[in-house]
């Protein structure tokens, strides 16, 4: 009986040692899994922050592009309105002052068109002559600078002398 008891005791000890080894191995695996999970969580958080910054930058670029497109559309609409006014001023029943203003406006539109095209504008100081049934109006180039003592740049906005 004692031998049987010693045999069972030895068997129980071996079983306990085997379970202790398995428990230790399972504990080490759990620590590795926790470490790996922590590393993955940090990488995910970092990637998420990068994606959020990228998304914010894309939204800002989209907003700027939309704003620029709206500004370009507003300028295009204003140009269309100005050209429509110019066309109305060119009609036969328009007065010579209106036609002189239309010619000046056309020159300004031409200058504006040249600014939006690549290349250099050679000159914009050409005299313009408009024939009206009852008289002829000549427009000379607009003065660029005044000779005033202040030396400030002033534009001649008065209608031309007939």
Q: What is the mean pLDDT of residues 29-49?
A: 95
Q: What is the DSSP string of the chain?
A: -HHHHHHHHHHHHHHHHHHHHHHHHHHHHHHHHHHHHHHHHHHHHHHHHHHHHHHHHHHHHHHHHHHHHHHHHHHHHHHHHHHHHHHHHTSTTS-HHHHHHHHHHHHHHHHHHHHHSSS--------EEEEETTEEEEEPPPP-S---TT-------SPPP-
Residues 85-139: pLDDT tens digits?
Answer: 888 777 755 566 677 777 788 888 887 777 665 554 444 445 555 555 555 555 5
Over the chain, what is the mean pLDDT?
A: 77
Residues 97-108: pLDDT tens digits?
Answer: 677 777 788 888
């Amino acid at each position: 009986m004692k031998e049987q008891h010693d045999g069972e005791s030895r068997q129980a000890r071996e079983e306990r040692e085997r379970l202790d080894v398995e428990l230790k191995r399972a504990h080490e695996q759990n620590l590795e899994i926790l470490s790996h999970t922590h590393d993955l969580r940090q990488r995910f958080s970092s990637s998420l922050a990068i994606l959020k910054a990228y998304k914010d930058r894309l939204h800002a670029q989209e907003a700027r592009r939309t704003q620029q497109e709206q500004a370009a559309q507003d300028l295009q609409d204003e140009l269309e309105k100005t050209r429509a006014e110019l066309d109305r001023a060119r009609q036969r029943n328009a007065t010579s002052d209106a036609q002189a203003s239309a010619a000046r406006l056309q020159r300004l539109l031409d200058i504006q068109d040249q600014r939006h095209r690549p290349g250099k504008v050679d000159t914009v100081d050409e005299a313009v002559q408009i024939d009206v049934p009852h008289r002829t109006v000549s427009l000379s180039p607009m003065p660029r600078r005044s000779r005033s003592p202040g030396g400030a740049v002033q534009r001649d906005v008065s209608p031309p002398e007939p």
